[in-house]
Amino acid sequence: MQKQRRWHVIQSKPHQEERVAAQLEEQTDIEVYSPRIEVVSLRKGGKVKVVKPLFPSYVFVRMIMPDEWKLVTYTRGVARLIGGWQEESWIDDVVMDAIKARENEKDRLINYYHFQPRESVVIRSGPLKDLYGIFERYVDDRGRVRILLSLIGYQASVELEAEELERL
């Protein structure tokens, strides 16, 4: 029986995702994937676009277990292989294809910002479910957003998770 390559998750040491990915790509024939996003961050009084890992401290690798286990786990910057080599846990190709499908063609970054300022939205979950509002801005790079609600002659500014909103 021929063993097949499957997607696994490596936990890297803090801020070592790029190092791990580069070393594995240079030294082995293992396919490596580290999705990245571009977020706007406030630095020194201004807004700066910063490219960050979508999953900080994690890298996806497509490898044959347990044959290539040592190659991966002994790479500089790797903390551990999620699931270890005895309890193999892998990610289905469908999941990986779904993540890759969200990438932009030109820069391979995943589109993080879904809403534009002054865009009409509806809240789909939580205590404010089914209320309509206007998207104002992203509050932080963890997915918090601010929207304006118009309630009975009173306009309120509310902060929510981006996942709770939907475009109209």
DSSP reduced 3-state for 154: strand
Q: 6-110: which CATH architecture?
A: 2-Layer Sandwich (3.30)
Convert the pLDDT of each residue in 27-51 to its tens digit. Answer: 999 999 999 888 767 677 776 778 8
The string of DSSP letters for 36-101 reads EEEEEEEETTEEEEEEEESSTTEEEEEE-TTTTHHHHHTSTTEEEETTTTTS---B-HHHHHHHHH
- Give the type of residue at 161: E
134, 117 in Cβ contact below 8 A?
no
The string of DSSP letters for 6-49 reads EEEEEEESTT-HHHHHHHHHHH-S-EEE--EEEEEEEETTEEEE
Convert the pLDDT of each residue in 71-100 to its tens digit. Answer: 999 999 999 999 877 777 889 999 999 888
Q: What is the CATH number of domain 120-167?
A: 2.30.30.30
Range(s) for CATH 3.30.70.940 in the chain? 6-110
pTM of the predicted structure, to 2 decimals: 0.70
Q: How many CB atoms lie within 10 A of CB 73?
A: 14
